[in-house]
């Protein structure tokens, strides 16, 4: 048969098969679940914040809020059918655990088990301190080292020993205890008019060590010091006398402390432990045979100038150095001292 529009194509017996549209390929699920990831991250942060409640009481509240947010994100992520469920499940579990942890800390703070300074009566132990407040422990106040007294200073400087007493009616030699470098000598003498009385310090070779402690031709009663200005090597006291005498050798710390007001008419020795001050003094001597000497020595064998060194009458004031120190007075007439 002839086609009106032209000759028919030759029929070779084959049927042409047209491509029919096939079924649509199944959609593949997305590779990420954003809500699940967010839930996991928020849950982990919530766990960390909840644990910080051990240090900060408010942290459990922040942890609970973050855990609730993570829990919601995880649950919503699980409802997405076209998203992976694994990460959402993990986020939900972690957030739930964080919420439980935060609630536990909240309960502990609420019951007073954490974050309170109350007495630990819930769990007493035999070794617990009975004090309710740790600030009351004895170690709160450090122990201060007490300042040495002027007597302790004297013993440390010149040494301590047992008093040595002697008496007689003529010449004698009285030994000084070994190892002692200074002390005081109190003596009395009662002789005829013009009778001599001398106390001389001797070293180990029996050589005079320094000026005599006492050198008079009158009756005597007084106290002198040795080892403060010189004669620290003295090992004995030579007594030269033509009458009855007594002698007492004592450690330097046996001297009296200098009072605010003192008076006398003979030699004397004081210890001074006060601060720098002014020393007012008077002396009633009226001629060159009436010496008045006041000296202050702050350490062993310190040969400083005397504070006062005059003969005859005196009325004045001089500076007194801070102690500890030894103050000596040499006089044969009435004198007064005033510290101010």
The neighbour count for residue 88, using CB atoms within 10 Å, is 26
Q: Which 3 state secondary structure label does DSSP give 173? A: strand
Quick one: 246 and 263 in the same domain? no
Q: Say if 13 falls within a structural domain.
A: no
For 8-12, 111-115, 117-121, which range has the lowest pLDDT when averaged over its residues?
A: 117-121
Q: Say if 323 falls within a structural domain.
A: yes
Each residue of 193-221: pLDDT tens digit?
889 999 999 999 999 988 899 999 999 99
Instruction: Classify residue 39 as left (phi > 0), alpha (psi -120 to 50) or beta.
Output: alpha
Q: Is the pLDDT of residue 30 over 70?
A: no
Q: Say if 205 falls within a structural domain.
A: yes
Q: Say if 54 falls within a structural domain.
A: yes
Quick one: 247 and 259 in the same domain? no
**Residue in 79, 90, 104 with CA at minimum distance from that of residue 44:** 90
Contact present, 270 and 258 (Cβ < 8 Å): yes
DSSP 249-313: EE-GGGSEEPPSEEEESS-EEEEE-S-SEEEEEEEE--STT-EEEEEEE-STT--PPPSEEEESE
Quick one: 213 and 182 in the same domain? yes
Distance of alpha carbon 320 from alpha carbon 279, whole angstroms:
6
134 vs 151, which has greater pLDDT? 151
**Host domain of residue 98:** 34-110
pLDDT of residue 93: 75
Q: Is the pLDDT of residue 4 over 50?
A: no
Quick one: 93 and 162 in the same domain? no
Determine the distance from the C-alpha atom of residue 138 to the mean position of all C-alpha atoms in its chain, rounded to a whole number.
15
Quick one: 283 and 338 in the same domain? yes
Can you give the CATH number for the domain in which 259 is found? 2.60.120.1050
pLDDT of residue 331: 94
Q: Is the pLDDT of residue 146 over 50?
A: yes
pLDDT of residue 264: 95
Quick one: 211 and 277 in the same domain? no
Distance of alpha carbon 198 from alpha carbon 253, whole angstroms:
24
For 68-77, 249-258, 317-326, which range has the lowest pLDDT when averaged over its residues?
A: 68-77
Last residue of a domain, one of 58, 86, 110: 110
Q: Say if 245 falls within a structural domain.
A: yes
- Find which of 111-115, 177-181, 326-330 is predicted with most confidence, using mean pLDDT: 326-330
- When the pLDDT of each residue in the chain is averaged and rounded to a whole number, the result is 78
Distance of alpha carbon 80 from alpha carbon 36, whole angstroms:
10
Q: Say if 308 falls within a structural domain.
A: yes
Distance of alpha carbon 159 from alpha carbon 148, whole angstroms:
15
Q: Which 3 state secondary structure label does DSSP give 179? A: coil
- Residue 189's contacts (CB-CB under 8 Å, 6 or more residues apart) are 195, 197, 214, 216, 219, 220, 221, 241, 243, 244, 245
Quick one: 162 and 179 in the same domain? yes
pLDDT of residue 25: 46
For 14-18, 65-69, 95-99, 273-277, which range has the lowest pLDDT when averaged over its residues?
A: 14-18
Q: How many domains does the chain have?
A: 3
94 vs 53, which has greater pLDDT? 94
Last residue of a domain, one of 219, 254, 289: 254
Quick one: 214 and 288 in the same domain? no
Q: What is the mean pLDDT of residues 72-93?
A: 68
- Burial letters 118-140, b for 16+ CB under 10 A, else e: eeeeeeeeeeeeeeeeeeeeeee
Last residue of a domain, one of 87, 110, 133: 110
pLDDT of residue 92: 74
Quick one: 290 and 244 in the same domain? no
Q: Say if 163 falls within a structural domain.
A: yes
- Asked if the peptide bond before residue 324 counts as cis, ω within 30 degrees of 0, the response is yes
Q: Which 3 state secondary structure label does DSSP give 243? A: strand
Can you give the CATH number for the domain in which 233 is found? 2.60.120.380
Distances (CA, A) of 42 to 75, 98, 162: 13, 10, 86
For 81-90, 115-124, 233-242, 296-305, which range has the lowest pLDDT when averaged over its residues?
A: 115-124
Contact present, 155 and 271 (Cβ < 8 Å): no
Each residue of 33-51: pLDDT tens digit?
676 677 667 667 766 666 6
Quick one: 105 and 154 in the same domain? no
Quick one: 174 and 268 in the same domain? no
Quick one: 263 and 188 in the same domain? no
pLDDT of residue 78: 64
pLDDT of residue 136: 57
pTM score > 0.85 for this model? no
pLDDT of residue 148: 82
Q: Is the pLDDT of residue 5 over 60?
A: no
Q: Say if 42 falls within a structural domain.
A: yes
């Amino acid at each position: 048969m002839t086609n009106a529009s032209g000759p028919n194509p030759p029929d070779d017996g084959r049927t042409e098969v047209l491509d029919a549209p096939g079924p649509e390929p199944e959609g593949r699920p997305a590779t990420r679940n954003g809500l699940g990831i967010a839930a996991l991250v928020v849950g982990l942060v919530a766990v960390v914040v909840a644990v910080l409640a051990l240090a900060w009481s408010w942290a459990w509240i922040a942890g609970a809020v973050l855990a609730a947010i993570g829990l919601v994100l995880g649950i919503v992520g699980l409802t997405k059918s076209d998203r992976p469920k694994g990460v959402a499940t993990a986020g939900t579990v972690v957030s739930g655990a964080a919420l439980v942890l935060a609630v536990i800390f909240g309960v502990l703070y609420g019951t007073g088990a954490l974050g309170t300074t109350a007495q630990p009566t819930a769990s007493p132990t035999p070794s617990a301190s009975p004090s309710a407040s740790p600030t009351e422990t004895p170690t709160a106040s450090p122990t201060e080292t007490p300042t040495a007294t002027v007597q302790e200073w004297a013993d440390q400087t010149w040494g301590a020993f047992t008093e040595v007493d002697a008496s007689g009616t003529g010449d004698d030699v009285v030994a000084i205890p070994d190892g002692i470098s200074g002390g005081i000598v109190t003596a009395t003498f009662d002789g005829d008019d013009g009778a001599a009385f001398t106390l001389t310090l001797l070293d180990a070779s029996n050589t005079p060590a320094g000026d005599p402690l006492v050198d008079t031709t009158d009756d005597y009663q007084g106290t002198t010091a040795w080892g403060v200005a010189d004669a620290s090597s003295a090992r004995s006291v030579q007594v030269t006398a033509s009458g009855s005498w007594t002698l007492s050798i004592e450690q330097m710390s046996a001297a009296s402390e200098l009072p605010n007001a003192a008076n006398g008419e003979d030699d004397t020795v004081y210890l001074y432990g006060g601060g720098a001050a002014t020393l007012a003094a008077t002396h009633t001597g009226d001629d060159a045979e009436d010496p008045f000497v006041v000296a202050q020595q702050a350490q062993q064998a310190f040969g400083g100038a005397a504070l006062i060194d005059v003969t005859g009458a005196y009325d004045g004031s001089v500076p007194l150095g801070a102690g500890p120190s030894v103050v000596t007075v040499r006089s044969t007439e009435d004198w007064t001292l005033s510290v101010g």
